[in-house]
């Protein structure tokens, strides 16, 4: 199908804290704290005692702290222009339709996002939607030959990969990972995009071939210490996709769930923490740098992740490699930024690298903020029992098996979303 009809989409202005780098001390001057920081205590040591203090002071401070010391600062939201590139109204024997939309955003030359939107046709009303970042391209999510192959840098471990190029051999290769028909049958839409469209995952930190250089300031030729890494860039891509969905109106963005696996789970939690339009946040097996604690070295450590994946975070985060106790937050604080919205940590028994027990402890440590805000958090008697979904507002699930996203996981995601969206 030939592209047609550019649509100007108003950007959602993220309520990011306006805090300059000068407001925070260098890493070497941060106090040592071997315990988990209290999310309700400000950086200056003062205690948050009212909801107004949380909303007006502590939440903005935490957003800025995470960006300053770990993920990097996101640029301001930009407008989005959308072009329909392909579509099919007869998917799954007529139960669904899909369209592929190219999203242009940012300064001229910024790499576009190719969004695949699958919508049920056999139900009344506008459906809720799962947004997800995929590892291998939209053409692997559905087997339909009309879905465009990704033309971005390609992940070598994906089906049908030849070097760094996607091929027809991979079409439909992740149908069982994304389970689009199951999602449709449960009354949800699915919006997904390939993470390589936003920032190639090449294990280098030169940031020359993703979105970052297109947002450099005048005269800037390389990222600064607090500029955004790949995890933040993928999260920024999520925000721009939601901008489009808000304007497109074929799905109900007031009932929106976000899901991502592994490193994309890290991006999912960060995106959810900064964007209140995301009502259910599901970072699946996200581990270190996402849902697992930084302070307690079970599985992957801060030093290991910064060494193996230097492009994921900003250039300040490695300063904590040998002194994680100086971090003025831990990952439970990122969960509190989602409050009072629902968050599910899902895990696998054999994936100890992602520290499933530590992740449960992050939920426990976030629970007091949910209750401070007047809502339930983690169910008081909750224990990480194998194969049983804890579906409280702070949810937890662990199953037998390995590091993967499966059909069984999607049954859990859908049940959790039903509980908190419908």
Separation CA 368–CA 31 (nearest Å): 23
Asked whether the predicted pLDDT for residue 16 surpasses 70, the reply is: no
Asked whether the predicted pLDDT for residue 343 surpasses 60, the reply is: yes
Asked whether the predicted pLDDT for residue 202 surpasses 50, the reply is: yes
- Please, which pLDDT band fits residue 21 given cuts at 50, 70 and 90? low
- Please, which pLDDT band fits residue 1 given cuts at 50, 70 and 90? very low
Q: What is the pLDDT of residue 124?
A: 87
Q: What is the pLDDT of residue 10?
A: 47
Q: What are phi and psi of 61, to 5 degrees?
A: -65, -45
Asked whether the predicted pLDDT for residue 182 surpasses 50, the reply is: yes
Separation CA 421–CA 113 (nearest Å): 27
Lowest mean pLDDT among 26-30, 79-83, 102-106, 297-301: 297-301
Return the closest-CA partner of residue 403 out of 353, 359, 343, 363: 353
Q: What is the pLDDT of residue 2?
A: 37
Which two tokens mark 251?
A: 């799905």
Average pLDDT over the chain reads: 93
Per-residue pLDDT tens for 361-416? 999 999 999 999 999 999 988 888 999 999 999 999 999 999 999 999 999 999 99
Per-residue pLDDT, averaged over 3-31, amounts to 62
Rama region for 197: left / alpha / beta (φ>0; ψ in -120 to 50; rest): alpha
* Inter-helix orientation angle 263-274/59-66, to 10°: 150
What are the start-end ranges of the H helices in 67-213? 175-178, 180-185
Per-residue pLDDT, averaged over 155-172, amounts to 92
Q: What is the pLDDT of residue 13?
A: 42
Per-residue pLDDT, averaged over 302-313, amounts to 96
- Please, which pLDDT band fits residue 341 given cuts at 50, 70 and 90? very high
Q: What is the pLDDT of residue 23?
A: 84
Homologous superfamily of domain range 4-13+74-421: Alpha/Beta hydrolase fold, catalytic domain (3.40.50.1820)
Per-residue pLDDT, averaged over 183-210, amounts to 89
Give just the sign of the alpha carbon dihedral 43, 14, 413, 138: negative
Judged by DSSP in three states, 258 sits in strand
pTM of the predicted structure, to 2 decimals: 0.95
- Please, which pLDDT band fits residue 3 given cuts at 50, 70 and 90? very low
Asked whether the predicted pLDDT for residue 20 surpasses 80, the reply is: no
Q: 124 CB contacts (<8 Å, ≥6 apart)?
A: none
The residue among 329 and 161 whose pLDDT is bigger is: 329
Q: Where are the domains of the chain?
A: 4-13+74-421
Q: What is the pLDDT of residue 209?
A: 77
Judging by DSSP bridges, how do beta strands 252-261 and 189-194 pair with one another?
A: unpaired
Beta bridge partners of 189: 129
Separation CA 251–CA 255 (nearest Å): 9
- Please, which pLDDT band fits residue 12 given cuts at 50, 70 and 90? very low
Separation CA 375–CA 393 (nearest Å): 8
Separation CA 268–CA 261 (nearest Å): 8
Separation CA 252–CA 257 (nearest Å): 10
Q: What is the DSSP string of 95-133?
A: TEEEEEEEEEESSTTPPPEEEEEEEESSSSSPPEEEEEE
- DSSP 8-state class, residue 11: P
Separation CA 221–CA 406 (nearest Å): 42
Asked whether the predicted pLDDT for residue 17 surpasses 60, the reply is: no
Per-residue pLDDT, averaged over 296-317, amounts to 94
Burial tier of 157 (Cβ tally within 10 Å: 0-12, 13-18, 19+): exposed
Asked whether the predicted pLDDT for residue 358 surpasses 70, the reply is: yes
Percent over 90 (pLDDT), the chain? 87
Judged by DSSP in three states, 30 sits in coil
Which sequence positions are flagged as catalytic? Answer: 262, 403
């Amino acid at each position: 199908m030939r592209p047609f009809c550019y649509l100007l989409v108003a950007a959602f202005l993220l309520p990011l804290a306006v805090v300059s780098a000068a407001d925070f001390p260098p890493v070497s001057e941060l106090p040592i704290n071997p315990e988990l920081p209290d999310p309700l205590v400000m950086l200056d040591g003062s205690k948050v005692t009212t909801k107004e203090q949380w909303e007006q002071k502590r939440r903005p401070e935490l957003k800025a702290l995470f960006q300053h010391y770990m993920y990097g600062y996101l640029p301001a939201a930009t407008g989005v222009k959308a072009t329909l590139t392909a579509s099919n109204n007869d998917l799954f024997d007529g139960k669904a339709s899909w369209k592929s939309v190219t999203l242009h955003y940012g300064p001229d030359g910024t790499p576009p996002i190719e969004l695949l939107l699958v919508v049920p046709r056999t139900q009344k009303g506008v459906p809720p939607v799962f947004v997800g970042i995929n590892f291998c391209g939209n053409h692997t999510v559905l087997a339909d030959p009309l879905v465009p192959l990704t033309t971005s840098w390609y992940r070598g471990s994906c089906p049908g990969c030849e070097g760094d190029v996607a091929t027809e051999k991979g079409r439909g290769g992740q149908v069982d990972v994304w389970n689009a028909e199951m999602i449709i049958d449960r009354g949800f839409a699915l919006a997904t995009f390939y993470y390589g469209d936003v920032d190639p995952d090449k294990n280098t930190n030169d940031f020359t071939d993703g979105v970052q250089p297109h947002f450099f300031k005048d005269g800037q030729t390389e990222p600064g210490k607090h500029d955004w890494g790949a995890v933040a860039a993928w999260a920024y891509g999520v925000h721009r996709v939601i901008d489009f969905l808000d304007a497109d109106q074929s799905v109900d963005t007031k009932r929106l769930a976000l899901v991502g696996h592994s490193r994309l789970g890290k991006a999912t939690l960060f995106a959810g923490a900064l964007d209140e339009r995301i009502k259910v946040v599901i970072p699946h097996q996200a581990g270190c740098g996402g849902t697992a604690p930084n302070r307690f070295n079970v599985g992957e450590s801060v030093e290991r992740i910064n060494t193996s994946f230097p492009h994921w975070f900003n250039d300040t985060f490695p300063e904590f490699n040998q002194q994680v106790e100086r971090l003025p937050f831990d990952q439970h604080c990122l969960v509190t930024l989602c409050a009072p919205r629902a968050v599910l940590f899902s895990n696998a028994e054999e994936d100890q690298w992602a520290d499933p027990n530590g992740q449960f402890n992050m939920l426990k440590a976030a629970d007091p903020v949910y209750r401070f805000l007047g809502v339930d958090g983690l169910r008081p008697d909750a224990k990480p029992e194998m194969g049983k979904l804890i579906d409280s507002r702070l949810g937890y699930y662990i199953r037998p098996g390995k590091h993967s996203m499966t059909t069984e996981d999607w049954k859990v995601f859908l049940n959790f979303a039903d509980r908190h969206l419908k």
